[in-house]
Each structure stands twice: as structure tokens, then as C-alpha cells.
Amino acid sequence: MFSKFFNLEKEKQDRIINAAIKEFAQKGYDNASTNEIVKEAGISKGLLFHYFKNKKQLFFFLFDYCYNVVADEFYKKVDLTERDFFKRIRQAVQIKVELQTKYPDILTFIQEAFMQDSAEIKVEFDKKKQELTAVNINIIYEGIDLSKFRDDVDVQKVLKIISWTFEKMSDEELLKAKMLPNHKIDYDKVFLEAEEYFEIFIKGFYNDGGK
């Protein structure tokens, strides 16, 4: 599909991808300007539309590209033999932080993309989001040792509570960072806070309060 694009010299590919990521991440889908992208990438207007038939296609290409980069690396690093749910989540958080440091633009782009709500891409993108979420949840839960959870509660719901908590915590941290002038996340503090939530969950939802 994008073989034309991938036949380009690597350096130009990168210029285009980086320019587009930057623009979409900063301004969101609707307000991202193809003009800015070509200017930043140093290519002509026509060329962009030679490789991508329209803005929407460019966005979806970009999303898939970015998603693959981080997902590949994520699944390479995560240890799926770890059967304890909290250790698994802890890993996930850790890897996410590493990726954030290694590919800051890409992660910002993905995060912003997930919050995108433009009418033009809504239907297609919501579908994609749901699929990805479903896949990830399956993987995250795969092989988890559920026997550690108390058996008088619905484990599925407990897992949801836990996942949601970490999502919300992450959102809040992101939001706080955005508000501040220097936009810096203190990852050590985040980890510490996460640990406290872990303990609470273990106390509340593991057999014998995790003892």
C-alpha cells in the first residue's frame, strides 16, 4: 500500500514522518496543516499527496507506523511469563516510561491520537482504538495467575478497576505536566505513587490481603 513511500530514500521518509508526527501531535488532526508538514519536511505540496492520497490516509499511516514501533519494542521487553498481575503492570509502567524517554515525539503523538475526536476520522479511528485496546487487554491478562485474587469477588471487574486506576493516574500525570510551564514528568515520583496503589490493591483484592 505504501510501498511507493517506502521506496523513498530513508532520510526523506524520516523527514516526512517526523514533520507529520510533530504537526499532528501539536495541533491535533483537524488543525494540523499539510502546508506546515511539507514546509517542515522540505518537500513539495504535490509530493505529499503523491504518497498519501489525502490527509486522513497520512494520519492513519502515521498512527500505524508509530504504533508498530512502540508495540514491537514493548512486546519485546515485557516478560509474559511473569504471572503476577501487579508485577506485570509494574513492568508495563516501567517500559512505557522507557519508551517515553526513547521516543518522546512518537509517544506524544500516540497519546494525542487516542484523544483525537475529529469528525473526519472518528468512525474509523474509534474502531481501530477499540481493536487495539481489546488486543492489548488480552495480552496483558494472558497467563495471569488469578488464583492470587480473593475468590469472593468478580476477578474480571477487579482487573478492570486496576487497569482503570493506572490509566487515570497516567492521564492525571500527563495533564499536570501539560499545565506546568516546563512540561516535565518526574518519573520517580510516579513510580512511587504507583507502588502505593499496588499495595492498596493487594491489600484489598489478594487473598489474605496479600500476606
Binding residues for a copy of itself, rule: CB under 8 A, are 26-28, 30-31, 112, 115, 117-119, 126, 130, 150, 152-154, 157-158, 160-161, 164-165, 167-168, 175, 178-179, 196-197, 199-200, 203-205
* Residues contributing to the site for DNA (CB under 7 A): 4, 7-9, 12, 31-36, 43-47, 49-51, 53-56
Q: How far is the CB of 78 from a copy of itself (least distance, A)?
A: 23
Query: Is the CB of residue 37 less than 8 Å from the CB of residue 23?
Result: yes
* Residue 34 binding result from a copy of itself, DNA, none, given CB thresholds of 5 to 8 Å by partner type: DNA
Question: How many residues belong to the chain?
Answer: 211
The entry of a copy of itself, DNA, none that residue 105 binds, CB within 5 to 8 Å by partner kind: none
Strand, helix or coil for residue 162: helix
Q: Cβ 27 to a copy of itself, closest distance in Å?
A: 6
Report what 26 binds from DNA, a copy of itself, none; CB cut-off 5-8 Å by kind.
a copy of itself
Are 29 and 112 within 8 A, CB to CB?
no
Question: Are 136 and 95 spatial neighbours (Cβ–Cβ below 8 Å)?
Answer: no
Rank residues 178 and 184 by Cβ distance to a copy of itself and give the closer one.
Answer: 178
Could you tell me which of 11, 117, 113, 30 has the C-alpha nearest to residue 65? 113
| Contacting residues for 203 by C-beta, under 8 A, at least 6 apart | 209, 210
Minimum CB distance to a copy of itself, residue 181 (Å): 12
CA 113 to CA 25: how far, in whole Å? 7
Hey, what amino acid is at 176?
K
